[in-house]
Structure 1
Amino acid sequence: MKKAIRGVVGAVCLLTALNVAPGVSQAEGRPLEWADCGDGLQCGEVAVPADWGRPRGERVRLAVARLPARDQAAKKGVLLVNLGGPAQQISVLRVAKSAFSDLTRWFDVVVSDPRGFEASAGITCPYPAPLPENLEWASPGQAEYERYRTANHRFGVDCGRVAAGPLAGHLDSRQVAYDMDAIRAALGQDRLDYYGNSYGTVFAQAYARRFPGRVGRMYLDSVLDHTTRSWVDWLLPRARTMERNLERFAQWCGEQVDCALHGRDVVEVWDEVLERAAREPIPAGSTTVNASRIASRTNPGFEQEWPELARAIAEAHAGDATRFAEQPVGGRDPDLSRIMFCADFPYPSDYRVVKSFEARLRQVTPHIGWVAAWPMAYHCAGLPGKGTYPPERLRELGPGAGPVLVAGGEYDGTTPPQDARRVAAQWGNARYLPVKGGHALYLSGHPCVREHVHRYLLTGELPGEGAVCGAA
């Protein structure tokens, strides 16, 4: 299962180039027809309006795939799944089928590439989305930021407006919610049973706003709050979680004799490294590393990286920041993801505004949490057409809908548990399950979470009041 989650995460970031076999076109108003498309999957298509505000306008095709339940005669139902991103889903399912082996004991597991992604009227951006200079996105200098914002604006025009064709201006979670309901109808389901992970929870919130009476059993994991319009209120839980993770890292180092910073005040050493790098970049072989680059390379939420982080900080404190100069290994979000992300979360682009957010966060999270002001700026700076579906509060679910099961990891700095608590509270008919863990709890194989999720999806039984899942 640990191998499965690595496959899922890597696939979301890296597998844009995988081909998805063409499915079977669905005639208007008829059930989905399935055809084998390799790797144990069956594929089909659903036709939807490019703009649900003009339902008789131009149409696009949504690619849908299912991993059938192992025993079709005994299956309990159909479960629509979105693993987050926003990103393609079908190629992820191809390489990470084992992550769903438990669910296919009872359900057809169905995924769909969101509109515009890969097999769903896939938009081909004419060139890759820009990256900050030297990947220094945390509190960059204004000149560097403005150059990046100009490049990101140009990318947004060429990809999100020109290359997007009929989908231009219609790449947001509100449109996806209507797509989800079209898929529900094509699957022949009266209600939507759904499992959303990470950004898939934003789609769930949009769906519940539009179709509150059609929500069936819905499990949301690592919730991204799309209800809060105050950016500072939205950032604070992320900043506080990052700060707590730095404290956990320091505590771990105090207990591990082989930690490179064992016996030292870890937080104090970290602060000194940033202060020195802010005054004068620290040597790193043939180059130097500034404070922005060090902060951009540091996320204390990943426990498996703590030994390497301790070595990097210790060496930088001694005058060699080479480990922070190394380019990170791994992929990047699909270029189109930032178009949809910023349509839903129209983060301010003005450098002074983002710096003011940073200053506010530094007052309560002075060591590392203030970095939380910058990732959204990296995504959204200068993009045209932001905010076609900005955050809005939820309303209680309709009669007979739900209840909804929501889980959040205490150490998750990307989708902090406060997000899940806020969303669950607004629905009323929802149960929040706190977990000692990080991001993507079900997919990471957390046994307590998986037990609760399976029971809930099969029977509708929620965890008892006060239930908590401890560390895996």
Structure 2
Amino acid sequence: MDTRRPARLVTALAALTLALTGCSILPFGGTATSPSSDSSASDGGSGSGGDAGDGKLPEIGTSAAADLDGDPATDEKYSSYYSQQIDWQPCEDYTGARCGSITVPKAWNDPSKGDITLQMIDVPATGQKKGSLLMNPGGPGGGGVEFVGDSGTSIVSESVRENYDLIGFDPRGVGTSDPIRCLDDADTDEYLADTYDMLTPDGLSRGKEWMQRIADACEQNSGDLLGYMDTESAARDMDVMRSAVGSEKLDYLGFSYGTYLGATYADLYPSRTGKFILDGAIDPTLTGDEMVAGQAKGFEDAVHAFAQWCIDQGSDTCPLKGTVDEGVQQIRDFFAATDETPVATNDSARPLTGALARSGVLVGMYNDQNWSYVAQGLQGAMNGNGSLLLYLADLSSERGDDGHYTGNGTYSITAVNCLDHPAVEDETWMQEQAESLAETSPTFGGSMGFTGMACGLWPEGPVRKPAEIHAKGSDLIVVIGTTGDPATPYPWAQALAKQLDNSTLITWEGEGHTAYGRSGGCVEDAVDQYILDGTAPEKDLVCS
């Protein structure tokens, strides 16, 4: 098999560099193995996750961006932030785009504690400009500068490009915006490749060691920022961006975690919420444990859908054989074998371990258009060459060919989620939940438990209690859900649309994470009409 990295593969997967950070508490690498039993996924559950049950959530503090005295936009002590003009200059890395920055207070309730510099990008409208469309790719930990610079013009339509500047930004602590620093590249390689089973005493001990090591490194290198990376603070930052680009109301396109960020903004500033599109929505009432449980089922469903597709392609394309359940079990057996004996790759120093193999397969579940690469990667790895699956795993963690991680999503996801989504920290409860996930979602579930352990060791505790978001008084907010979305299961979109005071839900009957730019026209047409002329989508629109 030719294991070189074709340009078309790089292009097809470029938008997935946030990949495994999806909306999980932890990145996928360096976590527990999954069982090699013959059990299949449970058909039950709504996809909205588990229940905290008798598990007690930790004490929840208060965000430094909460309960401010009045509106910062009209408060004199914030005037220097709201009066900023961005000094746009041609970007070095993105042709036709302009780059610039703004400053925001690190602690919104006390600007005297210093500022954070946020990096931004602007892809100017190709025609008569109607406004600016702020975009966020998700994560948390996804860099919006790279996202808009590399992919923004291919995601939105020509009509939107003609009428709107596309604005991207790296949120506080992420990417190039005063990024937090934790482990170095070599240690991150070791962490993401390490494979152990946290359902065993030795594996649990090793997992704790990694979590503590990461928490200590983050605190040592970036401890002064870790307490201010919550989503409410980032949403306040977005209002400064709105002012800096000269918009009375913010127009916004957010994906995945970007829906939670957008909904939070709308709740803080409903009168300044313009045309909002939230694609791949998160339900803000969920705990961290409930989010992980929903994703475990979502990815179990996705790998079954992939197996069916793969088997239908025939043996020339697909290494899986037999029924769908048998094909999925072959993937699990491959993971278990790789746990014991890593597969050689084109890099003799970096064999494909069990953790990396799972990452390489899981990233492909984000977009069914990439299933052929997963099949090719499995075919190669099952025949002794894990290079393509290693490449997919590296793509998901933003690792370049030179061994340098271009983003910090592996760690910033934990920094944000541990502030935003409390999780049970009782070890006995976590053990029971992890065993349940391994039983009901055997392919990846065993690797997705112990959410509260990482956050319990984290230097900063949660600052938001799970609760509904209503954004009462906002303009219409368009929520989009994909029925086969593994990372933000469809019931989450239904829940958010129901909570918001003024919203409409678009449903795409498809596979993969998010819909806009992938649905083939129906979702795109409805969204574009709303962005361009304010036409509300058909009520309860279903696209297939």
Please confirm whether the aligned pair reaches a TM-score higher than 0.5, indicating the same fold: yes
Counterparts of 2:223 and 2:341, CA distance in 1: 48
Find the counterpart in structure 1 of residue 284 from structure 2: 226
Contact 1:32 1:44 (C-alpha < 8 Å) held by counterparts:
no
Find the counterpart in structure 1 of residue 54 from structure 2: none
Q: CA deviation at 1:179?
A: 0.7
SS of corresponding position for 2:96: coil
Structure number with greater CO (CA < 8 Å, separation at least 6) is: 2
Q: CA deviation at 1:198?
A: 1.7
Gaps of 5+ in 2: 1-7, 22-78, 346-350, 399-407
Q: CA deviation at 1:195?
A: 0.7
Is 1:158 matched up with 2:217?
A: yes
One-letter code of the match for 2:497? A
Structure 1 range deviating more: 421-430 or 204-213: 204-213
SS of corresponding position for 1:410: strand
Counterparts of 2:193 and 2:223, CA distance in 1: 32
Is 1:63 matched up with 2:138?
A: no
Q: Tell me the TM-score normalized by structure 2.
A: 0.70
After superposition, the Cα gap between the structure-2 partners of 1:347 and 1:5, relative to the gap in structure 1 and judged at 3 Å, is: farther
Is 1:394 matched up with 2:394?
A: no
Of 497, 502, 519, 1:429 maps to 502
Find the counterpart in structure 2 of residue 441 from structure 1: 515
Counterparts of 1:280 and 1:45, CA distance in 2: 45
Of 76, 85, 108, 1:32 maps to 85
Contact 2:97 2:122 (C-alpha < 8 Å) held by counterparts:
yes
Is 1:456 matched up with 2:530?
A: yes
Q: Give the total of aligned pairs.
A: 449
Counterparts of 1:467 and 1:98, CA distance in 2: 25
Of 62, 78, 91, 2:146 maps to 91
After superposition, the Cα gap between the structure-2 partners of 1:418 and 1:59, relative to the gap in structure 1 and judged at 3 Å, is: same
Find the counterpart in structure 2 of residue 18 from structure 1: none
Contact 1:198 1:222 (C-alpha < 8 Å) held by counterparts:
yes
Gaps of 5+ in 1: 15-25
Structure 1 range deviating more: 188-197 or 253-262: 253-262
CA offsets per residue over residues 143-163 of structure 1, 9 Å max, x none? 23432332332332332x333
Is 1:385 matched up with 2:425?
A: no
RMSD of equivalent CA atoms: 4.0
After superposition, the Cα gap between the structure-2 partners of 1:37 and 1:153, relative to the gap in structure 1 and judged at 3 Å, is: farther
SS of corresponding position for 1:392: coil
Is 1:147 matched up with 2:206?
A: yes
Counterparts of 1:293 and 1:13, CA distance in 2: 11
Find the counterpart in structure 2 of residue 113 from structure 1: 170
SS of corresponding position for 1:422: helix
Find the counterpart in structure 2 of residue 7 from structure 1: 14
Contact 2:298 2:489 (C-alpha < 8 Å) held by counterparts:
yes
Is 1:358 matched up with 2:434?
A: yes
Q: Tell me the TM-score normalized by structure 1.
A: 0.79
Structure 1 range deviating more: 106-115 or 139-148: 139-148
Q: CA deviation at 1:260?
A: 4.8
Is 1:305 matched up with 2:371?
A: yes
Of 373, 376, 399, 2:448 maps to 373
**Which runs of structure 2 are paired with 1:15-30 in the superposition (5 Å)?**
28-30=81-83
After superposition, the Cα gap between the structure-2 partners of 1:352 and 1:312, relative to the gap in structure 1 and judged at 3 Å, is: farther
After superposition, the Cα gap between the structure-2 partners of 1:458 and 1:308, relative to the gap in structure 1 and judged at 3 Å, is: closer
Contact 2:192 2:356 (C-alpha < 8 Å) held by counterparts:
no
Find the counterpart in structure 2 of residue 21 from structure 1: none
Counterparts of 2:342 and 2:89, CA distance in 1: 53
Contact 1:274 1:291 (C-alpha < 8 Å) held by counterparts:
no
Counterparts of 1:308 and 1:286, CA distance in 2: 17
Q: Percent identity?
A: 22
SS of corresponding position for 2:266: helix
CA offsets per residue over residues 67-126 of structure 1, 9 Å max, x none? 12123xx32212111112223222333333532563321111112221123443344446
Structure 1 range deviating more: 105-114 or 141-150: 141-150
SS of corresponding position for 1:46: strand
Counterparts of 1:5 and 1:308, CA distance in 2: 12
Is 1:76 matched up with 2:130?
A: yes
Find the counterpart in structure 2 of residue 22 from structure 1: none
